[in-house]
């Protein structure tokens, strides 16, 4: 019997339902969504390839989630393994690290004129080798952006960078994107910039010559596309005051002055991200975004459409964060982040129907090694009442099902159910399982389980009761209510799963951003990116007053907060840790948490992809025997922490 399905007064009396106990710094005992702890799967199993670069002789790739850089010392034109790995002692391991010979989530690479560079993103540094390393050697020069893991909101400056996502050089000019974000009195702010060295730096503390921030309208600048002489395009994921937050700042002439204004903002229809690319030997611009786009020459302005675009759906081109293009002579390489491979063309594409000639990191263009190896993206764990486990996978629109609780790392799911929608929430109560999708509403099993392969008993698509079903934020279900948080941040309540057209008992606007609901039957938890509030279920009413748990004087990026069996669990997303209080009163009083997972103390805010570390923890679920933690976006792990019983 699981504690979360019992009232607190009863659960404390039931054997096995004492409050769960963890220890600070405790290692996770199981990892799902990857092969195992510190296991990459070898030289040709990538984990979301990001930046690629070539000097015409070698190919470099930032294998970010594996905390390594792979180098082919001759240009590959087939699925051949790399010759060199940086950041790891061998091709089999993938732990992150902070030593000079280690990497922590590298996002980009550069190669030119005998220099080889790595943007070691979460170590906030640029690593530079003046000759091609043949082993995992320490770099010859390290440009360090900052030493403090917690980024304050700062003015653009030439002697400071944080979270460097992009790096580019031609051997003389060096460009780095400072993908900085931080806290201010009014919440989390974005505000990054670009640094340009007109001559290649020779010392670790050499400031840049120029800084660009588009008048501080840059949000989180990412990719760099340029020839270093005639134009500059900077990808941005959180641009301010533009037609889309995702797109590219464009300088039609290469900047020569600090804070030179961009000439325009280049974006796509229905932009999901920015674009990044390279220039072909014919001088044409080729970029990957939502598809692959080619221009005849360099577009004179941001409004110039490409000559043609390749959507690549027939060979499952997905692109995504970090995808880019690298050109070596006639050969074109494209890193395909969300299909976990590099695709290559022997000649630059000539039409919208062009198909790659070879693939690296997969057997063929139809193979998706993320899916085939059961990698998970944005995992949402749900411990089932009968002892099984479901993990929702948003990217692959599927449910991973274990009929019994997994007992070992990398354990393959017993069933995989494709629900053809991005999973955003899972809930269960008294045998009813609810799966919420981003586009198609709710799928509900009142008997059995989706893991049985049966169709849902109820499907609510365009409407949930009388409420629009599009772009839900979250749902929860207990023995009192069915709860729904919609895209406007409004909470709706019904006594049960609503019938067609049924109006909620009441609705309350909460102004919750990226909110997540959770109920253990005693308390309703409502967490968002900037706050965690809750209320006793018996006190829920239209005029209810929510209580808020604040655990820091400065704004945080909360991932998920839940109350279960009178204990408080908060995933402190931007500080890469889980905070646990043994009772609600301590958390409300602002006392320090009793336990911290993913860190050794409250001063430890660095991410670590290890057994003892966490990397962007978000989704939580606790079943009385263990805590499940689903990491978000830039790490696909789902971790289990076993609990000890209070005596």
pLDDT digits (tens, 9 = 90+) for 371-385: 999 999 999 999 999
Mean pLDDT of all residues belonging to the chain: 91
Residues 319 and 312: their CA atoms lie apart, in Å, by: 10
Instruction: Kindly compute the dihedral angle of the four CA atoms of residues 76, 82, 85, 86, in this order, to the nearest 10 degrees.
Output: 10
Strand pairing partners for 174?
169, 197
Within 8 A by CB and 6+ apart from 48, the residues are 63, 64, 65, 320, 321, 322, 337, 338, 340, 370, 636
122 Cβ contact list (under 8 Å, min separation 6): 96, 104, 105, 163, 606, 607
**Which region holds residue 57: left if phi is over 0, alpha if psi is between -120 and 50, else beta?**
alpha
**Measured CA distances, 339 to 32, 252, 365, 494, 609 (Å):** 19, 32, 9, 40, 21
252 sits in the region (left: phi over 0; alpha: psi -120 to 50; else beta) called alpha
Tokens in use for 292? 């692959």
Helix %, strand %, coil % for the chain, to 5? 5, 35, 55
At residue 451, the pLDDT reads: 94
- Please provide the DSSP assignment of 301-340 as one string: STTPPPSEEE--GGGT----TT--EEEETTEEEEEEGGGT
Chain segment 570-610, per-residue pLDDT in tens: 999 889 999 999 999 999 998 999 999 999 999 998 899 99
In 3D space, the residue among 513, 506, 510 whose CA is nearest the CA of residue 559 turns out to be 513
Q: Are strands 193-197 and 285-289 parallel, antiparallel or unpaired?
A: unpaired
Cα end-to-end distance, the chain, whole Å? 19
**Higher-scoring residue by pLDDT: 321, 87:** 87
Residue 401 pLDDT more than 80?
Answer: yes
261-320 confidence digits (pLDDT tens): 999 999 987 667 899 999 999 999 999 998 999 999 999 999 999 999 999 999 999 998
pLDDT tens column, 606-636: 899 999 999 999 999 998 889 999 999 889 9
411: its two tokens: 């354990």
Neighbour tally for 158: CB within 10 Å:
16
Global pTM value: 0.93
Confidence of residue 553 (pLDDT cuts 50, 70, 90): low
**Sheet (strand 423-429) strand order:** 423-429, 432-437, 441-445, 458-460
The 10s digit of each residue's pLDDT in 103-118 is: 999 999 999 999 999 9
Q: What are phi and psi of 363, to 5 degrees?
A: -70, -35
How far CA 320 is from CA of 48, 272, 273, 626, 633, in Å, comes to 9, 8, 7, 33, 11
**Section 499-516 average pLDDT:** 90
* DSSP 8-state secondary structure symbol assigned to residue 576: T
Residue 402 DSSP SS3:
strand
> Residue 543: phi, psi to the nearest 5?
-100, 25
pLDDT classification of 10: cutoffs 50, 70, 90: very low
Rounded Cα gap, residues 371 and 374, in angstroms: 5
Dist CA 625 CA 645 (whole Å): 9
Smallest CA-to-CA distance from 44 within 93, 82, 90, 87 is with: 82
Answer yes or no: are the C-beta atoms of 516 and 425 closer than 8 Å.
Answer: yes
CA distance 638 to 647: 29
SS3 annotation, 30-92: EEECCCCCCCCCCCCCCCCEEEEEECCCCEEEEEHHHCEEEEECCCCCCCCCCCEEECCCCCC
What average pLDDT does the segment 522-529 reach? 93
The whole-angstrom separation of Cα 599 and Cα 283 is 49
Contact 117, 62 (CB under 8 A): no
Residues constituting the chain: 647
**Per-residue b/e over 73-85, b at no fewer than 16 CB within 10 Å?**
eebbeebeebebb
- pLDDT bin (cut points 50, 70, 90) of residue 187 is very low
* 432-461 per-position pLDDT tens digit: 999 999 988 999 999 989 999 999 999 999
Mean pLDDT of the 181-198 span: 71
Is residue 35 pLDDT above 70, yes or no?
A: yes
DSSP 233: E
- Assess whether pLDDT exceeds 50 at residue 647: no
**What's the confidence (pLDDT) of residue 295?**
97
* Pairing of β 291-295 and β 308-310: antiparallel
Q: Write down the H helix ranges in 410-494.
A: none
Q: Which domains does the chain have, with CATH numbers?
A: 3-33+374-645 (2.120.10.30), 276-371 (no CATH)
- When pLDDT is cut at 50, 70 and 90, the band that residue 16 belongs to is very low
The three-point CA angle 70-76-81 to 5° equals 50
3-state secondary structure of 543: coil
């Amino acid at each position: 019997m699981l504690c979360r399905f019992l009232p607190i007064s009863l659960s404390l009396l039931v054997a096995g339902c004492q409050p769960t106990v963890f220890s600070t710094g405790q290692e996770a005992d199981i990892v799902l969504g990857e092969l195992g702890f510190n296991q990459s799967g070898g030289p040709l199993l990538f984990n979301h390839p990001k930046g690629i670069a070539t000097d015409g002789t070698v190919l470099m790739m930032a294998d970010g989630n594996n905390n390594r850089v792979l180098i082919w010392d001759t240009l590959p034109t087939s699925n051949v393994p790399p010759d060199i790995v940086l950041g790891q002692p061998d091709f089999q391991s993938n732990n992150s690290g902070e030593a000079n010979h280690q990497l922590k989530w590298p996002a980009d690479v550069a190669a030119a004129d005998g220099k080889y560079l790595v943007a070691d993103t979460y170590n906030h540094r640029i690593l530079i080798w003046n000759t091609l390393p043949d082993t995992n050697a320490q770099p010859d020069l390290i440009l360090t952006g900052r030493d403090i893991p917690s980024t304050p909101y700062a003015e653009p400056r030439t002697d400071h960078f944080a979270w460097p996502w992009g790096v580019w050089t031609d051997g003389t000019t060096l460009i780095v994107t400072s993908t900085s974000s931080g806290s201010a009195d009014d919440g989390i702010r974005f505000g990054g910039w670009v640094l340009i060295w007109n001559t290649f730096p020779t010392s670790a503390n050499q400031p840049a010559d120029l800084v660009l921030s588009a008048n501080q309208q840059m949000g989180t600048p990412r990719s760099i596309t340029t020839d270093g002489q005639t134009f500059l395009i900077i990808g941005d994921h959180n641009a301010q005051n533009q037609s889309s937050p995702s797109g590219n700042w464009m300088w039609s002439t290469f900047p020569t002055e600090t804070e030179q204004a961009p000439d325009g903002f280049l974006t796509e229809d229905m932009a999901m991200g920015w674009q990044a690319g390279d220039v072909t030997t014919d001088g044409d611009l080729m970029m990957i975004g939502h598809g692959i786009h080619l221009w005849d020459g360099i577009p004179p302005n941001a409004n110039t459409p490409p000559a043609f675009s390749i959507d690549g759906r027939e060979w499952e081109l997905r692109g995504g964060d970090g995808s880019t293009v690298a050109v070596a002579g006639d050969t074109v390489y494209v890193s395909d982040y969300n299909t976990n491979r590099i695709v290559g063309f022997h000649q630059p594409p000539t039409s919208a129907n062009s198909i790659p000639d070879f693939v690296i990191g997969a057997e063929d263009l139809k193979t998706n090694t993320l899916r085939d190896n059961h990698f998970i993206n944005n995992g949402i764990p749900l411990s089932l009442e009968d002892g099984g486990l479901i993990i929702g996978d948003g990217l692959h629109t599927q449910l991973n099902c274990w009929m019994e609780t997994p007992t070992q790392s990398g354990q393959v799911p017993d069933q995989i159910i494709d629900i053809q929608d991005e999973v955003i929430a899972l809930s269960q109560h008294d045998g009813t399982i609810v799966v919420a999708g981003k586009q198609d509403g709710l799928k509900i099993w009142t008997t059995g389980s989706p893991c049985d392969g049966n169709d849902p008993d109820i499907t609510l698509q365009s409407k949930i009761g009388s409420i629009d079903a599009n772009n839900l934020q979250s749902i929860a279900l207990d023995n009192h209510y069915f709860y729904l948080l919609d895209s406007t941040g409004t909470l709706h309540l019904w006594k049960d799963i609503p019938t067609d057209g049924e109006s909620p008992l009441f609705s309350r606007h909460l102004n919750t951003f990226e909110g997540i609901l959770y109920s253990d039957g005693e308390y309703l938890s409502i967490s968002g990116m900037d706050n965690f509030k809750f209320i006793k279920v018996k006190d829920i009413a239209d005029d209810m007053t929510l209580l808020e748990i604040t655990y820091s004087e400065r704004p945080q990026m909360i991932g998920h907060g839940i109350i279960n069996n009178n204990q408080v669990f908060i995933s402190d997303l931007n500080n890469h840790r889980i905070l646990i209080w043994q009772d609600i009163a301590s958390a409300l009083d602002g006392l320090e948490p009793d336990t911290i997972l993913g860190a050794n103390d409250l001063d430890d805010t660095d991410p670590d992809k290890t057994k003892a570390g966490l990397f962007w923890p978000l989704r939580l679920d606790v079943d009385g025997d263990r805590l499940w933690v689903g990491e978000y976006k830039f790490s696909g792990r789902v971790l289990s922490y076993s609990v000890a019983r209070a005596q």
